[in-house]
Amino acid sequence: MQIFAHEGRIEIGDWFFLGAGSTVWSSDPIGIKIGKRVLVSSGVVIHDTNSHPMDPEKRFAQTRAIFKTGHPRIDPGIRSAPVTIGDDVWIGTGAMIMKGVTVGDRAIISAGAIVRSDVPSDALVPPG
């Protein structure tokens, strides 16, 4: 899990499981909220951020700063939007949850799915 130096927040409910090789990255002031009894399989990506600026000059400046001194403490122009994952959600191997998404309670995200829009409670998201 990573909270960027300039901002970010991650809240996790009880009985959360994060599988090997999964990443949860936040740079959003509201951040990522994960409910109770959420199971995240291996190789899952949950990001509320693009991680790098869209502008190539700003992206290179950020990369150079990371190499030299670590993540900048001021926002380098990264886009972010909060992510909310409800209770009792299961996220399959290799799935990606992108910025700005809300996943409803008891939803199942299939292995390899790329989630770019909200998922209602009790839904099954098919593979990528």
- CA atoms of 88 and 76, how far apart (whole Å): 35
Contact 26/3 with Cβ under 8 angstroms?
yes
Give the tokens for residue 33.
Answer: 């909220």
Catalytic residue check, 71 = no
- Of the candidates 6, 47, 52, 71, the residue annotated as catalytic is 52
Residue tagged 């309670």 (tokens): 105
Among 94, 89, 77, 78, CA closest to 118: 89
Catalytic residue set = 52
